[in-house]
Amino acid sequence: MGFNSKASRIYIAPVLGLTLLAATSACSSGGSSSSSSAATTPATTPASSAAAPASSAASSTATASSAAGSSSSAVTAITTNWTAFFNPSTPNSRRVQLLENGSEFASAITAFSKSPMASAVSSKVDSVSVTSSTKASVKYDLTAAGTPVASGQTGTAVLQNGTWKVGDEVFCGLLKEGASLIGIAVPAACNSAS
């Protein structure tokens, strides 16, 4: 359910290269749902998730309690948290809380955010399909420095400790595909990511 490996290589390598060029130029110029029903709802997010600044911890994380009423509430929570995780202005401490098993990936999240290319990656949620009380399928697009990298990717959101989180396999997919280009080591935790 992670990255489409072949499509990722086609899109990510050139875009990460463009992102590095853009970053270099910029530097030089100054809920739960019943397990028997699934809901697919298009997400209503801004055109660029990077444009939405991260807010306080309380408002940037949608929890299961706000998603408990309906699958549309879960979709909203998932979309909010997914967008915040991929928002370059979200503090790393929040990103750790918004990633499944995030504490195992804290150093990788920090390294990712310090990379000029990787830090420009953002995501827009296209749709969410709640597949059980603890899982959802997320269709999303990736951009790097405002340039589309990949469209229609599919990943997983997981309800963990009362919060809808980006599935760790999504983050590991990004790291595995771009590690050599962005100079980040793939953490051992990716070997056991779902």
Give the list of residues 6+ apart from residue 165 with CB closer than 8 angstroms, or none. Answer: 81, 85, 97, 98, 99, 100, 102, 157, 158, 159
Q: Which pLDDT does position 70 carry in this prediction? A: 63
* Rounded-to-integer distance, Cα 42 and Cα 127, Å: 4
63, 77 Cβ separation under 8 angstroms: yes
Q: What is the pLDDT of residues 83-119, one digit of tens each?
A: 999 998 999 999 999 999 999 999 999 988 888 777 7
Structure confidence by residue, pLDDT tens digits, 50-92: 334 344 343 444 544 444 446 889 999 999 999 999 998 999 9
Give me the phi and psi of 41, to 5 degrees please: -135, 130
> What was the pLDDT predicted at 46?
36
pLDDT tens-digit readout, 135-187: 999 999 999 888 898 899 999 999 999 999 999 999 998 888 877 676 778 88
Comparing 48 with 75, the larger pLDDT belongs to 75
Q: Specify the pLDDT at position 52.
A: 40
Residue 192 DSSP label: S
| Among candidate residues 182, 179, 171, 189, the one with its CA nearest the CA of residue 3 | 171
SS3 for 29? coil
Q: What is the predicted pLDDT for the residue at 73?
A: 92
What predicted TM-score, i.e. pTM, was given to this entire model? 0.67
How far is 34 from 1, CA to CA, in rounded Å? 21
| C-alpha–C-alpha distance, residues 71 and 91, integer Å | 28
Q: What's the pLDDT at 40?
A: 42
Q: What are phi and psi of 181, to 5 degrees?
A: -75, -35
- Identify the pLDDT of residue 155: 96
* pLDDT of 39 higher than 90: no
Average pLDDT over residues 38-59: 39
Residue 31 scores a pLDDT above 70:
no
Q: Which of 16-25, 106-115, 125-134 has the highest mean pLDDT?
A: 125-134
Residue 121, Cα to own-chain centre: how many angstroms? 9
